[in-house]
Structure formats: structure tokens, C-alpha cells
């Protein structure tokens, strides 16, 4: 049994989207490992390095790939999160940034 693609969607677009989804899942998993590791532990250091290496690899893929990843990640946030919770997170980050800069 073979699934047919909708008209106007070609296989390369689907493969690129699949790669984007895989990269996002990997990035989320690595970020979660870093954020959940005990501060100052060897696990935190390893998780931070793995996340940094992953982000560096994504950036090296070029603007088109990086842009697609950012767009898909933003779509994920919008689709699965309460808008108020997302806004509260950004507000909290803004406060932290302002405190660090003052």
C-alpha cells in the first residue's frame, strides 16, 4: 500500500519536512536533558556540550534549513501551548534579561 501525496506536494518537500521534524525532536530532547540535569553535575556539562554541538550543526546547515526549523518550532509552540503560558514565558525572560543588563 502506497500513500499518494496531495497534488502540488512533491517527495522532496516531504523529506525535507521529515528531516526538520527529526532535528526539532532531537533538539528538544537535548535541551530537556540539559535543563533537567543537576546544576554543576557532570551530566549537566555533557548535556550542555551535546546541545551546543547540535545547535552548531544546525546553523552550519544554512539559512534555509535553520529557517524551516525555526518556523516549524514556532508552529509547534503555537499548536500545543496555551498562548498565555507562552507569553508569560517571554515576559519572564524579558525580566531576567533586564535584571542581568542593569
53-76 tens-digit pLDDT? 999 999 999 998 899 888 888 888
Q: Left, alpha or beta for 3 (phi > 0: left; psi -120 to 50: alpha)?
A: beta
10-26 tens-digit pLDDT? 888 888 889 999 999 99
Q: CA–CA separation, 11 vs 89, rounded Å?
A: 37
| Total tally of structural domains belonging to the chain | 1
Q: CA–CA separation, 13 vs 19, rounded Å?
A: 10
Mean pLDDT of the residues in the chain: 90
Q: Is 6 within a domain?
A: no
Q: CA–CA separation, 43 vs 47, rounded Å?
A: 6
Q: Is 1 within a domain?
A: no
Q: Is 37 within a domain?
A: yes
Find the domain containing 76 and state its range.
Answer: 11-101
DSSP 45-87: HHHHHHHHHHHHHHHHT-HHHHHHHHHHHHHHHHHHS-HHHHH
Amino acid at each position: 500500500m502506497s500513500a499518494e501525496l496531495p497534488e502540488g506536494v512533491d517527495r522532496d518537500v516531504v523529506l525535507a519536512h521529515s528531516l526538520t521534524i527529526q532535528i526539532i525532536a532531537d533538539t528538544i530532547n537535548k535541551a530537556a536533558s540539559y535543563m533537567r540535569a543537576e546544576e554543576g553535575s557532570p551530566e549537566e556539562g555533557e548535556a550542555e556540550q551535546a546541545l551546543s554541538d547540535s545547535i552548531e550543526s544546525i546553523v552550519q546547515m544554512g539559512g534555509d534549513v535553520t529557517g524551516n526549523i525555526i518556523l516549524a518550532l514556532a508552529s509547534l509552540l503555537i499548536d500545543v501551548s496555551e498562548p498565555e503560558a507562552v507569553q508569560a514565558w517571554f515576559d519572564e525572560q524579558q525580566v531576567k534579561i533586564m535584571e542581568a543588563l542593569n
